[in-house]
Amino acid sequence: MNYAANLAMTLPEAVLAIGSIVLMLVAAWGGQASTRAISWASVAIIAGAGIALIGPASSGGEAFDGLYRADAFATFSKVLIFIAAAISIVLAPRFFERTAGDDLRPEYPVLILLSTCGMGIMVSASDMLTLYVGLELQSLAAYVLASFMRRDTRSAEAGLKYFVLGALASGILLYGISLVYGFSGTTTFDGIADAYTGGGTRSLGLMFGLVFVFAGLAFKIAAVPFHMWTPDVYEGAPTPVTAFFASAPKVAGVALAVRVAVEAMGPAVEQWRQIVIFAALASIVLGAVAAIGQSNIKRLLAYSSINNVGFALIGLAAGTPEGVAGVLTYMTIYIAMTLGSFLVVLQMRDHDNQPVETVASLAGMSRTRPGLALALAIFMFSLAGIPPLFGFYAKFAVFDAAVAAGLFPLAVVGICASVIGAYYYLRVVKTMYFDEPAAAFAPSDSKVEGGLIVLTAAFVSPLGYLAIPLIGGWAMAAARALF
């Protein structure tokens, strides 16, 4: 085994792992005073991991005897994950400074780094063992992040619910992996694919394994019917943590599901397609209908994330390179829309500088904070998929792939169901522009948050269409790496 070549392919994860361990030691000696320095050092480490993607880490092939795969698909996913993780670290110091009762501690950026390392392993996994190690590293850090505000009962409740349900999902996933291993005799994705091709007496056991594996992965991406943790965790967790949960782990989970479906279980496409179609349609409909009655903006965005995962899964159901490219394009645009929405939520504070999370508090914001209202309106219209905003192209990409794969009824039902979701997005816009003004939010002087809002709003506006050749070409190259 050529260890130097293997380490070169896993360099991004090595950078994140070593960096997080060093910063953990710095935090132990430096204490609370080192928080801001560790936060910026964490962003630099993530940037370093991104730079490490250049070279063998993006095209080196298989490492460690098939446990890890460095290809264009993993690289595309990691770039999105690293961007979302870095933004989540940058947002935190100001949020905790202005929130009474809890301070940002230096463990926060270290936990984000460890979670990001786990996500990097997830999207490069080419063996069930690597898959599980990466998934659990990401999840264990996420459980702590959800309950990070120790004096806040909602945050503690969010962490406990996430941990209990996450442990259940891990058990389901492990049971599925054990069935697949038992009936295929291997944990490598290539070997499992060969077993699915073989059929015979093993096929029934492998099908049961497939169902349990997809059930475990559905929990990680909050797809119906394994979505139950999402609204409570999103509402209770600190807002920068919620922004992180809604972006980076979502990309990692969807990318992992795509790799398992295409590489490990590609020969069983007709079997897993039925599961994916059900999860897609159920997520779209429930995410739309359940959001209608929400009065808390973070819970509303939680159901929005469930709804959006449903649309992404339509691309996976196609089971083609075009479908996978559509999924990657969708997730690229989705994280911009979601992070932008949570950046606006971070600006929602009363004059005592405490967070305000009700939809009713947005009333009349077009008159009190017109720039912020315009940005949130752009994000809402884009999430609804209303042209000419860039969110429309995200939905078009997955529907086009589904139609090309012969799944015309799925595309039709998905388009019809998206109309339901438009209602609650438009309700937010109506509240901002047509209701009598509520108390104005406290002014914000954060140039970082303001700049990020402008950048994300510009990206999901019609200006985003200028990036289609770049995003579309890269997504297609990444998708072809799986086939």
Rounded Cα distance between 266 and 180, Å, is 14
The answer to whether residue 478 scores a pLDDT higher than 70 is yes
Rounded Cα distance between 163 and 280, Å, is 25
Mean pLDDT across 164-192: 92
Burial zone of 118 (CB within 10 Å; 0-12 exposed, 13-18 middle, 19+ buried): buried
pLDDT at 38: 92
Domain enclosing residue 411, as ranges: 3-480
DSSP 127-185: BHHHHHHHHHHHHHHHHHHHT--TT-HHHHHHHHHHHHHHHHHHHHHHHHHHHHHHHHS
Taking the CA of residue 449 as centre, how many other CA atoms within 13 Å lie in the half-sphere pointing to its CB?
20
pLDDT at 100: 55
Q: pTM, whole model, 2 decimals?
A: 0.93
The model's confidence at residue 476, banded by pLDDT at 50, 70 and 90, is very high
Rounded Cα distance between 123 and 70, Å, is 9
Omega cis (within 30) before 388: yes
Rounded Cα distance between 210 and 85, Å, is 31
The model's confidence at residue 424, banded by pLDDT at 50, 70 and 90, is confident
Pick the range with the lowest mean pLDDT from 150-154, 291-295, 299-303, 305-309: 150-154
Phi/psi zone of residue 398: left (φ > 0), alpha (ψ -120 to 50 degrees), beta? alpha
Mean pLDDT across 131-141: 94
Residues 6 or more apart in contact with residue 154 via CB below 8 angstroms: 235, 236
pLDDT at 134: 94
The model's confidence at residue 171, banded by pLDDT at 50, 70 and 90, is very high
pLDDT at 397: 92
Rounded (10°) angle between helices 408-434 and 370-383 = 160
Domain count across the chain: 1
